[in-house]
Structure 1
Amino acid sequence: MKIINIHKRVIQQPKPEFAKLFNTLATENDMIVATDKWSPIKLDKGLQVGSKGGHGPIKYFVTEFKPEKSITFQFDMPGFNGFHRFELTELATNKTEISHIIDMITTGSATLKWTLAIRWLHDTYIEDAFDKVENHLTKDKKSSNWNLWVRILRRLIKPKRK
């Protein structure tokens, strides 16, 4: 199944402020991922091409890293053929867009896993991450609500938190 999944958020802050946060991805002081709610991203060599890791059961490796611009991860799991990417885009001097894109083809049981569980958990994971970024950069505090299916899935799989 062909999957294109895009999340975007525009925040009224200059791109250099985002870049400071972006460079903490997959570190002990990750300012992107909501590690209080979700598994952290772990990479064996940090933010560099070839680094392997993932978050929770999702495995991938870094195929491209453009500091202060984007990082692209290639999935490293059976049935998940494609990539996901975080990207920063300056829209104006004090206006930046953060986005996360998945572009992949699933096969076999991966299609069922994506449709029933991973998609729902992923969407919430990214919105929680964007809330964390926005809360760090602005005075207005964001907190996305989890839908009923995500709450049920979380109870069923009991993810490990760090």
Structure 2
Amino acid sequence: MDVCNVHERCLSAPPGRVGALLDSLAGEDDRLWPHGWPPMAFDRPLGEGATGGHGPVRYKVVAYVPGTWVRFAFAAPRGFDGFHEYAVLTADDGRTLLRHTLAMRARGAARFSWRLFWGPLHDACLEDSLDRAELGCGGEVARPARHGWYVRALLRIAARGGAAER
């Protein structure tokens, strides 16, 4: 099963300011990764070759252009073959677009676990991340992400199993 999942937010801030959020990923002052989720952490500072992930989702930084783009190749869970990335782009209206893209082929049991577990959690986590970026750039979030009953239930289940904290 092929998965292409995109989350993006137009931000009223110059690209350099949004890029600084990107560059803070997994650092001591991470201003992009959302609170309440397993933290993003690597074996070294953000840069090509760094390995780590968040919770049971593991990956390696395979490309990094400071302030502009970072791509992570999946190492786990089993059956996730592909990548996810953040990109800082210029929107048509001159604002800055922060985009997260996940592109992968889900194989084996991952075809089902993506649909039932990982996908809904991924969507919620990414919307929380974009809320964090919007807050960091403008001081307020126009439409904060809301987690439905299913995602809240998954978070409770994952927290008991150590996969997520809320």
TM bucket (normalised to shorter chain) is over 0.9
State yes or no: 1:50 paired with 2:49: yes
Instruction: Kindly state the Cα deviation for residue 140 of structure 1 after the two structures are TM-superposed.
Output: 2.9
> Residue 63 of structure 1 aligns to a residue in which SS?
strand
Equivalences for residues 2-151 of structure 1 within 5 A = 2-35=2-35, 37-77=36-76, 78-91=78-91, 95-142=95-142, 143-151=144-152
The answer (yes or no) to whether the contact 2:64–2:71 under 8 Å persists in 1 is yes
Counterpart CA distance in 2 for 1:136 and 1:92 is 21
- Counterparts of 1:55 and 1:4, CA distance in 2: 20
Alignment-mate amino acid for residue 12 of structure 2: Q
Going from structure 1 to structure 2, the CA distance change for 1:160 and 1:8 (only over 3 Å counts) comes to closer
Question: Moved runs in structure 1, 4+ residues, more than 6 A?
Answer: none
Give the share of equivalent positions with the same residue, in percent.
30
Q: Distance in 1 between matches of 2:66 and 2:12?
A: 21
TM score, norm. by length of structure 2: 0.91
TM-score, normalised via structure 1 length: 0.93
SS of match in other structure, 1:97: strand
Distance 2:30 2:44 in 1: 15
**Contact 1:39/1:56 (8 A) holds in 2:** yes
- 1:160: Cα distance to partner? 4.8
Please state how far the C-alpha of 1:141 moved relative to its aligned partner.
2.9
Q: Which 5+ residue runs of structure 2 have no aligned equivalent?
A: none
Query: Could you tell me how far apart the structure 2 residues matched to 1:58 and 1:38 are?
Result: 12
